[in-house]
Amino acid sequence: MQKNLLLVIVLFSVSNVFAQEKGSFEDMRDGNWYKYVTIGSKVWMAESVNYKTAEGSWCYGEGRYAEEKCKEYGRLYNHNTAKNVCPNGWRLPDKADYELLIAIWGGTLNSAAGGAKDPKGFNAKLGGFRGAGGAYDFMESAVYFWTSTKYGENSAWMFGVAGTTANAMGSVSQDNIHTGRYVRCIKK
């Protein structure tokens, strides 16, 4: 009897660790709704932030269809702005959070770029980035998310997913804090 009870407790605990909690919430600052998903022990936003700021944020391309791209991919932020755009109760992930995310995927993020082959629900849409000089690039072939972790005075760590939707690879690297990258948040 005691062995069976222990087995039930262990199985219940393991199932809770891998349970995928999904849902959505409203950002009370602007009324935007965001999906979230539990990956491992962390609750991640399953969409990029689209909170408009007075400066330090852009829609990809800033042209005629820029606002549509913000709705689809989220906004791009410089690092200083990214540190302050997560909704109340959420925070900008640090480098270790993304390294753990990669480890959960077994060392790479195959299929993290969304679609039916995204078993964890991260849904990293390949929305490109904005360079420090203002040029946009890599739409539909890469996406980069800021971390809260600085790397020297003018750089910070970022998490990138590059490849195709069916075969994406994730990594953590650093870049200039003046570039435009997307933001995902983790629940505090």
pLDDT tens digits, 17-75: 444 689 999 999 999 999 999 999 999 999 999 999 999 999 999 788 899 999 999 99
Give the Cα separation of 80 and 8 in Å (integer): 48
C-beta of residue 124 within 8 angstroms of C-beta of residue 161? yes
Q: Tokens 């809770």 identify what position?
A: 16
Residue 54 has what DSSP assignment?
S
Query: Picking from 12-26, 63-77, 114-128, 150-164, which range would have the lowest pLDDT averaged per residue?
Result: 12-26
pTM: 0.83
Domain boundaries, the chain: 45-187
- End-to-end CA distance of the chain: give it in Å, rounded: 39
- SS3 string, 149-188, reads EECCCCEEEEEEEEEECCEEEEEEEEEECCCEEECCCEEC
Q: Residue 130: CB partners within 8 Å, gap ≥ 6?
A: 58, 60, 76, 136, 179, 180, 181
Six token digits for residue 65: 């269809």
